[in-house]
Amino acid sequence: MSSDRLSPSNQVPGACPSCGEDLRERRLQEAPVSLPSPFSNAHKTSCCLLVAPAHNNTTSEFDGTSDLHTGISNTEGVVYNYTRAGVVRELSGFDEQHHNCLSFCLSFVNRVLAAEGREALSRETFTQIFILPRVQRVQKYLFLYKHLQTHQYYLVDREEDRQEDTQEETQEGI
């Protein structure tokens, strides 16, 4: 997956795989030409919360059940994260439940919110707002990517697709 966009093959099936209607003379105006990749180079992305597989998995192997690692990039693309070795010397080190990369990022975000006079986020709210929507977007993208590697097309239930898009927009607006 070296490209930053997912593009279907240049060949359009002669007939609709669902209803059999002839497609050779039709203009597929609603068909997307390409989809933006949900992946980015952390060192070229500034001021971002970063999420990646924790154990050197390639993005194409991510299945949604892998452990994740989080970090934060500064204005120059330098990534700060918390590992078993820690970021700075502290009395307590890595603890899978209470002192880990997610708690590091949550603490950072909550300090920014406090400086802005806003309420802190709980671990659950932080995960719901910032982590899950991106993981779900990656899962959808990888599913489609793998499907298009073996098929020329992918059929979408338009009504179900619209409902999911509305839910994602609502979550991202928070």
Domain boundaries, the chain: 5-172
Cα–Cα distance measured from residue 135 to residue 153, given in angstroms and rounded to the nearest whole number: 23
pTM of the model: 0.61
Give 35-64 pLDDT, tens digit per residue. Answer: 778 877 777 778 877 777 776 655 556 666
Contacts of 105 (CB under 8 A, 6+ apart): 49, 70, 71, 72, 81, 82, 126
Give 134-145 pLDDT, tens digit per residue. Answer: 888 888 888 888
Give 113-129 pLDDT, tens digit per residue. Answer: 999 999 999 999 999 99
What percent of the chain stands above pLDDT 90?
12
- Provide the edge-to-edge strand list for the sheet that holds 79-81: 49-53, 68-73, 79-81
Position 16 confidence tier, pLDDT thresholds 50, 70, 90: confident
